[in-house]
Amino acid sequence: MTTLREGKLEFSFDESWTVLKYDDQPEYRNKIEKLDGTKAVDFIGIYSTTEPLQYFLEIKDFTGYETENKRRINSDLALEFALKVRDTVAGLVGVSKTSSEPEKWQEHLQLLFKNDSSLKVILFVKGMPTFGRPGSSKNQADVLTNAIKGKLKWLTSRVQVVDSLQNLERIGVSVKQLSRGDTD
């Protein structure tokens, strides 16, 4: 099992996963990020079941800030995420050429270039703002998913906005809220 932290959340990936906190990797920090404006998804992973799938996961925790983030979710978040996915793809191509550990990136690139169905991108939003109607956070997740699909259709059709923990548990990922003393 691999456990990774992002903000005040701790993600545990079962043994089906090979996963990295991509935006903390030395290749990203020391090379890719040096280009001003470059962004990256939080985690990249390979989920091996019957056939391996590559996942890009971006984590947003709006808990306690739902009201402040309504506008962002309605207008900016789909583009922010799509740009992070784009930059991550470019970064993976770059690190495969310049990394001192090219084998670390080899399977990620093979899956990336395989076909549309081998890459799935997930935006995990904890504290998805509601918009006045019961169940509207689900509707908002659907709207956001469709907006992201439109921006990433050049790369993959497998896009999901997840606003509940159960959706991640289906793929062997559990999430825990860290207490104040547990965070870095």
Q: How far apart are CA 173 and CA 111, in angstroms?
A: 20
Residues 6 or more apart from 172 whose CB is under 8 A from it?
Answer: 13, 14, 15, 16, 17, 47
Q: List pLDDT tens digits, range 64-119.
A: 766 676 666 666 889 999 999 999 999 999 988 888 888 888 889 888 888 767 89
At residue 133, does pLDDT exceed 70?
no
Q: How far apart are CA 149 and CA 159, in angstroms?
A: 6
pLDDT for res 125:
87
Residue 64's Cβ-count burial label (10 Å; 0-12, 13-18, 19+) is exposed
Q: List pLDDT tens digits, range 15-37.
A: 999 999 999 999 999 889 889 99
At residue 57, does pLDDT exceed 90?
yes
